[in-house]
Amino acid sequence: MARASTVFVCSACGATSSKWSGRCEACGAWNTIHEERATSGPPAKALDRNKGRTVPLTDLSHAEAPPPRTASRLDELDRVLGGGLVPGSAILVGGDPGIGKSTLLLQGAAAFAGSGLRTVYISGEEASAQVRMRAERLGLSDAAVRLGAETNLRDILATLEAERPDLVIIDSIQTMWADTVDSAPGSVSQVRAAAHELTSFAKKRGAAVVMVGHVTKDGQIAGPRVVEHMVDTVLYFEGERGHQFRILRSVKNRFGPADEIGVFEMTGGGLSEVPNPSALFLSERGQPAPGSVVFAGIEGTRPVLCELQALVAPTPQSQPRRSVVGWDGGRLAMILAVLESRCGIPFTGLDVYLNVAGGMKIGEPAADLAVAAALLSAREDVAVPAETVVFGEISLSGALRPVTQTENRLKEARKLGFTAAIAPRGGKAGDASGLSLTQMGDLTSFVGEIFGAG
């Protein structure tokens, strides 16, 4: 008979210990240790030498050819997945509450069902009638999707064994409850056990399983990080509540490029695709104003142009304020230090505000030069020409370092009607016809030529 004992589990990494402590010894996180009831199962069975057989790597192509991907009618979703849905894959989707995860997955389920996949949608948070109401609002009432409202993992797996679906959507993994684990639903042990069982089902039956995960206040998927290691793909659904844009971002993908994004627009009839996000992010841009600069970035394999906005104002406080939305605050401090140390332009006694328009989040260092241009434009009250794009990485010495995919950035800028670009020297520009390209080697030259300061 199974015996229950008390263990202490870290909610950040899933490490277990026999006693409580304020700091996890495995990952170093504070106040993440929680008490749970662990169950020890029956003794292990004797080894079966017929299981776990190996095959030569050179024979894999002849033994079993991998089944082809299945593409949906949502091109942005297919792009993030790496070209379509891979049979037998486990996918974890996270996002803030109310951002549209269930809407996205219901539209995706209908799209894949229209492509010929047997699709089952399991909801642990809503009744089947509530899911039908959403489907009617989205115009998907005729979709060939099977619905279920259940939280008991044993019953769900029994249903899936009988249905034999090609795609399973679990909304959400935190509501699943395994009766073999003596802890409350949503706890670390329950989430880990449910994710393991569903991932094993996906690999064994060849069905793709999509699990919805709640996120913490820090924006990370709630539960142990080991769940992200179990699955094949981790997607984040991002967006600001004040904007209609939604971005589906791939942070891990074993079957395609990571950091790929798909852009959607939230409308009254659900999520609609945005095939050209650069035009959408720049659609509300008005007349050129000081502090506004267009940055040519790369998200995954896609070039995306967005607007960086800066505001520099005197402060009556002894400690100036540094506020950043959509970019790394530590990197802003580095840019300000380089401008003061290498170019002689101080920001002491000045509040600095930086914003990425449209709710975008930028993580690549190629935005350094665009941020510096926006800060200098706001400080000197000089507008950067509206038809100019800026990109480049700034080193601590003040030198400008070339960035990847310069040619794709310039091609996207030329396609959207921009006529000038400022980039670091040494980048492979390719065919820059129709675009006035200015390449510079250091930040001091950039400041002197564009703003006449420094």
pLDDT digits (tens, 9 = 90+) for 284-329: 676 778 999 999 999 888 899 999 999 999 998 889 999 999 999 9
Reported as a single tens digit per residue, the pLDDT across 71-87 is 998 999 999 999 999 99
Give the strand pairing for 350-356 and 302-314. Answer: antiparallel
Cα Rg of the chain, angstroms: 26
Q: What is the mean pLDDT of residues 391-402?
A: 95
At residue 225, the 3 state secondary structure works out as coil
Question: What would the mean pLDDT of 415-421 be, rounded to a whole number?
Answer: 91
Instruction: Please give the Cα distance from 83 to 71 (Å, whole number).
Output: 7
Binding positions: 95-102
- Strands 90-95 and 233-238 come out as parallel
Kindly report the CA angle at 210 between 208 and 212, in degrees rounded to 5?
170
Reported as a pLDDT band with limits 50, 70 and 90, residue 381 is very high
The two tokens of residue 142 are 């005729």
Q: Tell me what the mean pLDDT of segment 164-182 comes to.
A: 91
Residue 52 is predicted with a pLDDT of 62
The whole-number average pLDDT for the span 412-434 is: 86
With 0-12 / 13-18 / 19 or more C-beta atoms within 10 angstroms meaning exposed / middle / buried, residue 397 is exposed
Query: Can you read off the two tokens belonging to residue 52?
Result: 């776990």
Q: Which tokens go with 340?
A: 């003061």
Q: Is the pLDDT of residue 45 over 60?
A: no
Binding site for ATP, by residue number, is 95-102
Average pLDDT over residues 168-189: 88
Q: What is the per-residue pLDDT for 43?
A: 47
Strands 270-273 and 208-213 come out as: unpaired
Higher pLDDT, 47 or 428: 428
d(CA 331, CA 178) in angstroms, rounded, equals: 44
Residue 246 phi/psi, 5-degree rounding, is -130, 140
pLDDT at residue 2, rounded to an integer:
45
Query: Which residue type does 351 have?
Result: D
Confidence of residue 18 (pLDDT cuts 50, 70, 90): confident
Residue 38 β-bridge partners? 5
Entry pTM: 0.78
Q: Between 182 and 131, where is the model more confident?
A: 131
pLDDT of residue 160: 94
CB distance 166 to 146 below 8 Å = no
Q: What is the mean pLDDT of the chain?
A: 87
Cα torsion for 352, 356, 358, 363, to the nearest 10°? -150
What is the predicted pLDDT for the residue at 90? 96
- 242 to each of 98, 357, 446, 453, how far by Cα in Å? 12, 12, 35, 37
pLDDT at residue 44 in the model: 47
CA distances from 329 to 110, 204, 322, 427 (A): 40, 45, 8, 27
* pLDDT for 254: 92
Q: Please give the single-letter amino acid code of residue 406.
A: T
Are 195 and 227 contacting, i.e. CB atoms less than 8 angstroms apart? Answer: yes
Is the predicted pLDDT of residue 60 greater than 80, yes or no?
no
